[in-house]
Chain A
Amino acid sequence: MDFFEITTEPIEVGANARRVVPASCGAIVTLDGFVRRFTKERETLYLEYEGYEPMALKEMEKLIAQAREQFEIESVGIVHRLGKLEIGETSVVISVAAPHRRAAFEACEWLIKELKRTVPIWKKEVYADGETWIEGEKNQ
């Protein structure tokens, strides 16, 4: 069963993985994306995520459909959190179940890369001395 959701509550990574697993599968790959403390030399205090929720959900649904066309996978679950996130908290989790691990790894990598390019969600990094909306991947 595929699913794609947006939440403002903490994400349980293990529970996310277990929701996608059908009996035909031998592997789940889960990406746990969380708030990094240091970006290069600069220390982040916390992050704020904002999303264009209805469009973000549509784009997530499209990504899952595209992943299913390209990779031998059974199911995908994506949850992205919005709002204020402290250092170390999970911002996104993507779980991919597949009969064999290789397709699950490849699909998971493709999904996070595409999510960061197309799903309308933005992060603001808040530092001790200011804050910045991150625009695209250029600062990473």
Chain B
Amino acid sequence: MKVQVLFFGATADAVGKREIEIDLAEHTKTAQAFENVIRDFPRLAEHKLLFAVNQEYANGDELLQNGDELAVFTAVSGG
């Protein structure tokens, strides 16, 4: 299955892209997907990261489905 991964701000700079698509086995959990992304883009590990799935903060246990939207970003700094 395929899922989309979005990057913002510092993580977009670290990856050099704002969006990628990754291939995952069926029944993959979010924690595994984020681990794969960090393995593929090791510069991400220089940051303290937050993760989201389908526009909600992820706890790592969510089972992914084809077409899900993941996001990897740093601690937020709005305001």
Contacts and interface: CB of A to CB of B under 8 A. Distances in A.
Interface of A: 33, 49-52, 54-56, 58, 80, 91-92, 112, 115-124, 133-138
Given A120-B52, A133-B13, A135-B10, A55 B79 contact: no
Nearest to B71: A52
Label chain A's interface by main secondary structure.
mixed
Given A52-B8, A135-B47, A120 B13 contact: no
A112 B79 CA distance: 7
Interface of B: 6, 8-10, 13, 47-48, 50, 52, 55-57, 71, 73-79
A116 B73 contact: no
A58 B8 contact: no
A50 B8 CA distance: 7
A122 B55 contact: no
A121 B78 contact: yes
Contacts of B10: 122, 133, 135
Given A33-B79, A120-B71, A124-B9, 18 more contacts: A50-B8, A50-B9, A52-B55, A52-B71, A54-B55, A92-B79, A115-B78, A116-B78, A116-B79, A119-B76, A120-B73, A120-B78, A122-B10, A122-B73, A133-B9, A133-B74, A135-B75, A135-B77
